[in-house]
Amino acid sequence: MAKNEMPLAELSKHLETLANNSLELWDVPNGSRARLINVSENSTYLVEGPDEFKSILRVHREDYHTERAIYCELEWSQALGEAGEVLTPGYMIGKDGKAVQSGIVDPLPGPRFMVMFEFARGHEPDESQDLKAPFEELGEIAARTHVHSISWKRPEPFERLTWDLDAIFGSDPTWGYWRDAPNVTPEISKLLQKLESTVVDRLTKFGKGQDRYGLIHADMRLANLLIEGDRTWLIDFDDCGWGWYLYDFATGISFIEDHPQIPELKSAWVKGYRKARPLPEAEESEIDSFVMLRRLALLAWIGSHIEAPEPQELAPRFADVTAELAEAYLSQFG
């Protein structure tokens, strides 16, 4: 994915102008303002107004999703909530009757798609505390989304991203090439090439049977869970698409794959998953391959999104730690 040539600070300034100028597209209270709370693929704003009004505005990254793909995301998220499988935040319809709006602000080229979500109250699980219980719940939530995705009659045409080997390692990878990431030395590149080859071989043999591969959330990190009392919301379906079901565990430990508690978290996730859907031991034994697939995808993501704060913060050590993880994986599976 091409990097934006405009400095992030300047881009953010223009996007904030767009966000606030666009509030009139929805029926929000007069005097509401949008404040940036997160930059990743998209820019996400907290909208606050009179009488404690709150909502979430997502301004989409240019050329990442088509309008149709965004509608497909919203339809699955809504269907999950309506089926009672998981709690998902609703979205607001614009004054023109459409859920997906678009807007233009100079000097940015082209329109940006936007979606206004209802505000889900709650807090993220605290990563400094024991995470076994949250991961057990995360596993059960993942299984419920998978059960639903298998039986759900999708609207046609259905357009979403794909998270398979070609999307990550192919000739036009969604997040770019891991080799282009910062600090990938020739020595590290050689090791990670062996890792890629091993993962490709194992997951090709694993296959894409309908019991293993389908529509997934694809970004099921703890940051995308909001806990409100005894209720847990699953948010941010922006990356949902086609992938292996076990890839959802790998996304759950994104950026913390080297955490010493990971083996316990994997066991907790599997325990939770089996509350809602069978998971054969033969599939469980391949989870580490999906972890490494995701890790290489994240390495590529850092390289192609280096203008953003999070990739910049992660970049200095990410390639080195990925190499350490690769050595451990290859000692077992290589």
Mean pLDDT computed over every residue of the chain: 95
Q: What is the pLDDT of residue 130?
A: 84
Kind of pairing between the strands at 112-118 and 101-103? antiparallel
d(CA 148, CA 141): 11
Task: Report, as an integer, the average pLDDT of 277-305.
Answer: 97
On the 0-12 / 13-18 / 19+ scale of CB atoms within 10 A, 263 is: exposed
> Which spans in the chain are helix H?
8-22, 67-83, 132-151, 165-169, 186-206, 247-252, 262-276, 281-284, 287-304, 309-333
Q: How far apart are the first and last CA of the chain?
A: 30
Contact 45, 35 (CB under 8 A): yes
Find out whether 88 and 234 touch, Cβ atoms under 8 Å: yes
For 259-289, write each residue's pLDDT tens digit: 999 999 999 999 999 999 999 999 999 999 9
Q: What is the pLDDT, as a whole number, of residue 3? A: 44
Q: 36, 45 in Cβ contact below 8 A?
A: yes
Strand segments (E) across 33-178:
33-39, 43-49, 53-59, 101-103, 112-118, 161-163
pLDDT of residue 219 exceeding 50, the answer is yes
DSSP codes, 183-200: T--HHHHHHHHHHHHHHH
Q: What is the pLDDT of residue 308?
A: 86
Residue 306, Cβ neighbours under 10 Å: how many? 16
pLDDT tens-digit map of 155-171: 999 999 999 999 999 99
**Which phi and psi (to 5°) does residue 36 adopt?**
-65, 130
Burial category of 326 from C-beta neighbours within 10 Å (exposed 0-12, middle 13-18, buried 19 and up): buried
Q: What count of other Cβ atoms lies within 10 Å of the Cβ of residue 267? A: 15
Instruction: DSSP letter for 3, please.
Output: P
Digit-coded pLDDT (tens) for 189-200: 999 999 999 999
Rounded percentage of the chain residues whose pLDDT exceeds 70: 99
Pairing of strands 53-59, 112-118: antiparallel
